[in-house]
Amino acid sequence: MDLNTARLTLRTKVGSPTTDEVSDETLNRIINAAYREIGSKYPFHETRCIKSFTTESGTARYTCPTDIASLLRVWDSTNSKKLKKRGVRFIATLPPGQTNDKPLNYVREKDWIQLIPTPDADYTINLYYLTEIEDLVDDADTFGLPLPWHDGIILKARHIYYDERGDIGKAIYSNNMWKDWVSDKPSEIDMEKDDYDDVGIIIPTLGSEHSGRLHSRSRRFDPFFDETL
């Protein structure tokens, strides 16, 4: 569903107000609000990805991808090792003159990630993360979620519309309709859990040689990755 179709559908569901009464821009904003909420709250392959970078000996801190919302997992595929997440205070506890070695921990703050210990060689580090949801802007822009969820975006948008206008009765009704719709709606990742025990996971090798910057290549990934890695 593209933005134009979504807007026309939502306008119909809220009583068909004219553009003088409710502008297209207002409906676009509400649709995008519903899109962001659903895309960030429920697990979809389309909103999760892996990117990798190659460490440099003696360099501990690296820039995160610009589209990162939440960092879910970090692992060193060179050494088949899942890195342990630490808080920023962990950096302050490090002894001076710590020896460089294979990374075992990471700290993520703002737009950077720090590996601890500082790498002593070139290692491929993989970041598995939730991406930011990009607003639809042009009428031809389409939702980056599976087609069955497009109707849910409209239902959620209708609830937001009435809630913003203080129409409590219609807001409650619309919210109940949304809850009924989503209550038994599994995401594609939820549906794939049934096959999880039978699936062999192969650690991906991404990108080519790189000097400490994040690779532009990425691939989608199942979040139910073996926790022993």
Per-residue pLDDT tens digits for 87-120: 888 888 888 878 899 999 999 988 899 999 999 9
**Residue 195 maps to a domain:** no
- 88's CB contacts (< 8 A; 6+ apart) are 107, 109
179 and 151 in a single domain? The answer is: yes
**Residue 139 maps to a domain:** no
**Residue 20 maps to a domain:** yes
- Burial code (b: 16+ CB inside 10 Å, e: under 16) for 180-214 equals eeeeeeebebeebeeeeeeeeeeeeebbeebeeeb
pLDDT score, position 187: 60
Domain that residue 170 falls in: 3-41+147-186
Q: Which one has a higher pLDDT value, 88 or 159?
A: 159
Rounded to 10 deg, the angle between the 3-13 and 24-41 helix axes is 100
The pairs formed by 192-200 with CB atoms below 8 angstroms and a separation of 24 or more are 192/222, 193/224, 196/222, 196/224
pLDDT score, position 155: 96
CA distances 135 to 69, 73, 120, 141, 187, Å, are 14, 25, 41, 9, 21
Instruction: Please provide the size of the chain in residues.
Output: 229
Q: How many domains does the chain have?
A: 2
pLDDT score, position 193: 53
**Residue 17 maps to a domain:** yes
The first and second tokens of residue 122, run together, are 């070139």
18 and 104 in a single domain? The answer is: no
pLDDT score, position 191: 53
178 and 107 in a single domain? The answer is: no
pLDDT tens for each residue of 182-211: 988 766 655 555 554 544 433 333 333 333
127 and 79 in a single domain? The answer is: yes
* Residue 4 identity: N
Would you say the C-alpha torsion 196, 48, 211, 86 has a positive or negative sign? negative
Closest CA to 175 of 191, 189, 158: 158
pLDDT score, position 227: 40
0.85 exceeded by pTM: no
110 and 175 in a single domain? The answer is: no
Calculate the dihedral angle through the C-alpha atoms of 70, 161, 176, 1, rounding to the nearest 10 degrees.
-70
**Residue 182 maps to a domain:** yes
34 and 62 in a single domain? The answer is: no
Residue 214 pLDDT > 60: no
156 and 91 in a single domain? The answer is: no
**Residue 68 maps to a domain:** yes
- Pick the range with the lowest mean pLDDT from 44-53, 91-100, 118-127: 91-100
207 and 125 in a single domain? The answer is: yes
pLDDT score, position 190: 57
**Residue 112 maps to a domain:** yes
Q: Which one has a higher pLDDT value, 227 or 118?
A: 118
207 and 114 in a single domain? The answer is: yes
